[in-house]
């Protein structure tokens, strides 16, 4: 409290100053409130009924002459410097309506964030950068990526590799002790180097695929958000969203950031991703305007202002702690793991037998060294030599296990999936779930939408009926003003689209769904509608948004001029027609709709549908005064007055008929499921080639209500014949998928709406639409078709078969190597007591077939021949009879030739033991190189067809040959080889090249349908 001392006139002067200063503060506060200046001070104190905190600045402004200028306004604009982000975050997180009220409500919050309710933010680059600096960007911290060293450790953390490394270290130690460092390191050191080479190549391959999957993962997260900036509605990446943005929300959208509802109609949100509660929460301005990032819009539409983004949202905090597992194991990978395990056990058994035989022969004195003397002479033999020999035999046995275990099978799947995912992205298909790539190859039925998938989704109003009269371009002027006004209201008020008048052009910018855009364009151009004028003339009381179940939307509005309430309906023509009892004619007269008139309107709708037009009706009803107090949801849906009918044309996509024919040739059935009426559906199906005009259509075309009312027995009986389902609901689509799966089909389904999510999840392969698809649909799907084109669906089918086919090629190639390597070493060890292929040589073969072979065969691109075969069903075996025929023929040939070289090679070729072993090793590797060509086509005799298109395959073959020459000619001690002359190289190449004519002859042998050996593909 101020205490006044001194003389009376001094006390009066102080009192005057205090009163004057109080007045100044009061005036300043009013100016701040009038100018919408942020009411947040450095101490983060907010306005309340009892106080107001302001940022006091020097308001005394002088002009250029140094004189006071009362006309100058004080400069109080300090954007966002005094806004507490933590307060905004907590307000939404805690749903603290009281704190929102302290801001001054939603309007004042918009002012604080410098956002216009209609025009949004400025949107200039400087403004966006400043907002990101102050509030952060809409990105969350991702868990650290898996480092390359982790992949090296995982590759090294293999029991067989560790045992082999132990043997190599022991061999290295004994070798150095016996022969010194200069010569003693070769045997053990060579194995160590070979092991590290295998580990590094495997690690690099896995590291690259991991990075590729992470890149694809980030692309799946980049969704488009509709925002309003500078008065224009425009799509932006979710990562470009900033605090203050006005976001447009519709059914199926994901809320991109925390925020507050600005305006909404019947808005409901699924917050289960945040709260775990399955109930949908109603959002409205009065009590609960708060929206959480990551939640989904389940009904209605509206706009919100973003208050927090990225790590300042609960969703961002949660996502930053979640590591998305990119090493998802697909069904085929799981099946191949079991196959590899079975082969590994067989290899282990062979290796144990070989080890026992080698040890018995050694300790019984039957093993002879290079000098022709026995290696073991009882107690006379040096203990170091005994240990060295034992370690060498153990190394050989362990190496057999390394070669026998086909680690390349899972790697081949990974490489194939990674390659196909990358290529499919270029072909307008983004894979969200790895298993979908391989499952698509087994698809037997595709259930497809019509709009946007089979058609272009570029709609245009081509017919307009007012009463019983069609309105042509030159007769629009004759429409009665009353009817014209009601039509303009019916379009302008009952829409989720927008019309933006740009100053730079006379043509307005229209946004929204293709249907809404077509209707708005027609209303603006032909009816002369001003959407802003319509919205200003009426107050919207209630909105029922359109969804695929109701197939209609409604708006209840009160006219500002006379306070009269009326309801406007828009939707499927026959459904709206059933609700009408009267209609307008062109002259504006209201006439009663009797049964004959109703049939005439029905005929008009059928005629438009037969021309492949989508029929939409407009109707309205004046709400009587006594019904004004009724609940908006309970208003009577009868007694409507028909305003008019329009027909929208959506042309079929170019190439869709050919794509449908390709599916039929591939043994895949196409079923069209649409919300259009039965006549439109039938016309489009004939245009696309799904139906033929000369066939019986009684059982081929059915309505959704008929399908769902079938008994289970009837449905299962007729499901194969049905090819078109019209007026279907999302439940009908789900029922169709479930019925087809019960019949044993592998089903692919396309969908774009929120209500399609159950069918997309139920299907074996869910295909969502990238352009028109909602975020709910995309999250429920396995693959996103980026261009919404049915031709891309067929491309996915082709790639799915390519993945499966490439994996089968590699299985055939690898099993050939396994059978040959095991047989040669086993027979040689048992009969001669020695193995012709050393540990280093077998590791080199392992590298060729596991990594390089997988890379060569897994990157074959799909051909049209893949669509000339029937689909691979659920129960088809993984290794077909054709594969068994090819691999056994090649394996028998290789084993026979190499065993002849083993036992008779020195006599036939007149060479010593070391050269003979080098010839066996060289011939064995070259056989695998030539057999890679054979593996490219399992049934075609011409294995060179299309080879020039796969440069990677040719590059790998060339690289393998070069490395083999280096191994034989220049790494003698490392690989335990001897240099070969030209004649010996010619002999090796000639023996290996014989695999080509053998493969050609073998493919002439027919195979039985009865399975030779069963390795079945697991259910997908």
**Which residues are catalytic, by number?**
449
**Both structure tokens of 502:** 């740009």
Contact 665, 592 (CB under 8 A): no
Joined together, the tokens standing for residue 262 give: 């600005």
| Integer Cα distance of 614 and 514 in angstroms | 12
> Per this entry, what is the length of the chain?
1020
Which of helix, strand or coil describes residue 531? helix
Integer Cα distance of 255 and 292 in angstroms: 7
Phi, psi of 246 (to 5 degrees): -90, 120
Q: DSSP for 36-77, please give it.
A: T-----TT-PPPBTTB----------B-TTS-B-TTSPP---
Q: In degrees rounded to 5, what are phi and psi of residue 3?
A: -110, 130
Number of Cα atoms under 13 Å in the Cβ half of residue 130: 14
284 token code pair: 């409205």
Would you say the C-alpha torsion 813, 818, 819, 824 has a positive or negative sign? positive
| 8 A C-beta contact, residue 458 and residue 452 | no
In angstroms, the CA 997 to CA 844 distance is 26
If DSSP codes are grouped into helix, strand and coil, which group holds residue 195? helix
Kindly state the tokens that stand for 282: 């109603």
Q: Give the integer Cα–Cα distance in Å for 254 and 267.
A: 13
Place of tokens 């009163």: 19
Alpha-carbon gap, residue 914 to 156, rounded angstroms: 32
DSSP at 328? P
Helix (H, G, I), strand (E, B) or coil at 791: helix
Q: Would you put residue 36 in left (φ > 0), alpha (ψ -120 to 50) or beta?
A: left
Query: Chain-centre distance of CA 685, in angstroms?
Result: 28
∠ CA 143-146-148 to the nearest 5 degrees? Answer: 155
CA atoms 353, 355, 357, 359: torsion sign: negative
- Cα–Cα distance for residue pair 364/384, rounded to 1 Å: 18
Give the whole-angstrom CA distance, residue 512 versus residue 397. Answer: 69
- Which pair of tokens denotes residue 116? 């216009």
d(CA 81, CA 381) in angstroms, rounded, equals: 88
Contacts of residue 400, Cβ cutoff 8 Å, sequence gap at least 6: 347, 350, 351, 354, 821, 822, 825, 835, 842
Residue 590 CB contacts under 8 Å (≥ 6 apart), including other chains: 582, 583, 584, 641
Per the structure block, which two tokens stand in for 186?
A: 């070769």
Helix (H) or strand (E) holding 392: helix 383-404
- CB atoms under 10 Å from CB of 946, counted, come to 16
- Distance of alpha carbon 35 from alpha carbon 29, whole angstroms: 10
End-to-end Cα distance, the chain: 82
Dihedral, 965, 971, 976, 982 alpha carbons, nearest 10: 40
**DSSP secondary structure, 597-651, as one string:** HHHHHHHHHHHHHHTTEEEEEEEEEEPPGGGTTS-GGGS---SEEEEEEEEEE-P
**Beta pairing partners, 430:** 784
């Amino acid at each position: 409290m101020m205490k006044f001392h001194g003389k009376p006139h001094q006390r009066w002067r102080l009192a005057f100053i205090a009163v004057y200063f109080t007045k100044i503060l009061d005036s300043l506060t009013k100016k701040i409130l009038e100018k919408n200046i942020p009411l947040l001070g450095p101490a983060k104190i907010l306005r309340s009924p009892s106080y107001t905190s302001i940022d006091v600045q020097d308001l005394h402004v002088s002009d250029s002459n140094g004189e006071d200028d009362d006309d100058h306004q004080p400069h109080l604009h300090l954007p966002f410097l005094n806004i507490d982000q933590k307060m905004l975050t907590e307000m939404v997180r805690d749903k603290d309506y009281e704190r929102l009220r302290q801001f001054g409500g939603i309007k004042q919050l918009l002012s604080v964030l410098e956002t216009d309710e209609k025009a949004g933010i400025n949107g200039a680059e400087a403004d966006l950068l400043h907002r990101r600096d102050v509030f952060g960007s809409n990105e969350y911290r991702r868990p650290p990526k898996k480092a390359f060293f982790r992949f090296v450790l995982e590759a090294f953390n293999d029991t067989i590799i560790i045992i082999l490394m132990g043997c190599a270290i022991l061999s290295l130690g004994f070798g150095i002790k016996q022969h010194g460092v200069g010569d003693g390191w070769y045997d053990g050191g060579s194995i160590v180097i070979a092991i590290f080479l295998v580990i590094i190549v495997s690690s690099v391959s896995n590291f690259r695929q991991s990075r590729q999957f992470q890149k694809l993962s980030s692309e799946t997260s980049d969704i488009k958000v509709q925002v309003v900036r500078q008065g224009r509605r425009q799509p932006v990446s979710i990562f470009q969203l900033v605090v203050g943005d006005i976001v447009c929300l519709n059914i199926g959208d994901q809320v991109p950031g925390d925020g507050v509802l600005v305006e909404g109609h019947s808005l409901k949100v699924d917050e289960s991703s945040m709260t775990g509660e399955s109930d949908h929460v109603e959002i409205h301005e009065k009590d609960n305007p708060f929206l959480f990032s990551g939640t989904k819009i389940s009904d209605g539409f509206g706009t919100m202002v973003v208050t927090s983004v990225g790590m300042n949202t609960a969703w961002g905090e949660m996502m930053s702690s979640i590591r998305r597992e990119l090493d998802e194991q697909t069904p085929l990978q799981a099946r191949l793991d079991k196959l590899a395990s079975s082969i590994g056990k067989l290899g282990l058994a062979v290796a144990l037998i070989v080890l026992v035989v080698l040890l018995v022969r050694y300790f019984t004195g039957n093993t002879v060294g290079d000098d022709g003397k026995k290696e073991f002479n009882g107690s006379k033999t040096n203990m170091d030599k005994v240990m060295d020999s034992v370690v060498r035999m153990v190394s050989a046995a362990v190496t057999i296990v390394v070669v026998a275990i086909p680690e390349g099978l899972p790697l081949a799947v990974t490489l194939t999936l990674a390659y196909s995912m990358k290529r499919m992205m270029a072909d307008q298909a983004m894979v969200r779930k790895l298993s979908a790539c391989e499952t698509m190859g087994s698809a037997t039925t595709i259930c497809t939408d019509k709009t946007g998938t089979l058609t272009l989704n570029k709609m245009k109003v081509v017919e307009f009926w007012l009463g019983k009269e069609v309105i042509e371009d030159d007769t629009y002027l004759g429409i009665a003003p009353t009817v014209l006004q009601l039509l303009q209201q019916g379009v302008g008020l009952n829409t989720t689209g927008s019309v933006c008048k740009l100053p730079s052009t006379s043509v307005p910018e229209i946004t929204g769904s293709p249907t809404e855009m077509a209707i708005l364009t027609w209303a603006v151009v032909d009816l002369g509608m001003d959407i802003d004028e319509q919205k200003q003339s009426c107050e919207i009381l209630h909105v029922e948004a359109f969804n695929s179940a109701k197939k209609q939307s409604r708006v209840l509005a009160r006219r500002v001029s006379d306070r009269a309430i009326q309801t406007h309906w828009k939707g499927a023509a026959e459904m709206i027609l059933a609700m009408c009892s009267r209609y307008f004619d062109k002259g504006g007269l209201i006439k009663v709709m009797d049964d004959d008139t109703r049939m005439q309107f029905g005929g008009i709708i059928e005629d438009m549908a037969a021309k492949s037009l989508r029929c939409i009706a407009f109707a309205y009803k004046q709400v009587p005064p006594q019904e004004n107090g009724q609940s908006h949801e309970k208003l009577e849906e009868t007694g409507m007055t028909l305003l008019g009918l329009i027909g929208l044309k959506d042309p079929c996509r170019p190439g869709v008929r050919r794509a449908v024919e390709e599916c039929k040739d591939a043994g895949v059935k196409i079923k069209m499921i649409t919300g259009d009426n039965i006549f439109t559906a039938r016309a489009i199906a004939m245009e696309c080639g799904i139906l033929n005009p000369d066939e019986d259509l009684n059982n081929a075309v059915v309505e959704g209500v008929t399908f769902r009312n079938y008994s289970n027995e009837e449905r299962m009986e007729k499901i194969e014949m049905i090819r078109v389902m019209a007026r279907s609901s999302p439940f009908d689509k789900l029922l169709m998928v479930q019925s087809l799966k019960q019949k044993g089909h592998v089903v692919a389904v396309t969908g774009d709406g929120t209500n399609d999510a159950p069918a997309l999840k139920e299907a074996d392969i869910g295909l969502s639409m990238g352009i028109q698809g909602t975020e709910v649909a995309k999250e429920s799907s396995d693959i996103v078709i980026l261009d919404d084109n049915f031709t891309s669906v067929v491309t996915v089918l082709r790639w799915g078969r390519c993945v499966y086919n490439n994996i089968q090629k590699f299985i055939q190639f690898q099993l050939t190597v396994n059978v040959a390597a095991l047989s040669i070493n086993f027979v040689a060890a048992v009969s001669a007591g020695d193995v012709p292929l050393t540990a280093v040589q077998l590791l080199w073969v392992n590298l060729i077939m596991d990594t390089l072979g997988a890379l060569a065969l897994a990157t074959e691109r799909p051909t049209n021949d893949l669509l000339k075969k029937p689909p691979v069903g659920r129960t088809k075996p993984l290794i077909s009879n054709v594969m068994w025929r090819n691999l056994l023929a090649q394996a028998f040939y290789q084993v026979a030739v190499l065993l002849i070289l083993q036992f008779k090679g020195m006599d036939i070729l007149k060479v010593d033991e070391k050269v003979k072993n080098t010839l066996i090793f060289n011939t064995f590797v070259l056989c695998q190189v030539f057999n890679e060509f054979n593996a490219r086509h399992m049934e075609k005799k011409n294995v060179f067809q299309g080879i020039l298109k796969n440069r990677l395959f040719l590059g790998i073959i060339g690289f393998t040959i070069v490395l083999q020459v280096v191994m034989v000619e220049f790494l003698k001690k490392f690989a335990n080889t001897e240099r070969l002359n030209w004649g010996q190289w010619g002999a090796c190449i000639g023996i290996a090249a014989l695999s080509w004519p053998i493969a050609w002859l073998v493919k002439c042998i027919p195979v039985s349908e009865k399975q030779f050996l069963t390795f079945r593909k697991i259910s997908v």
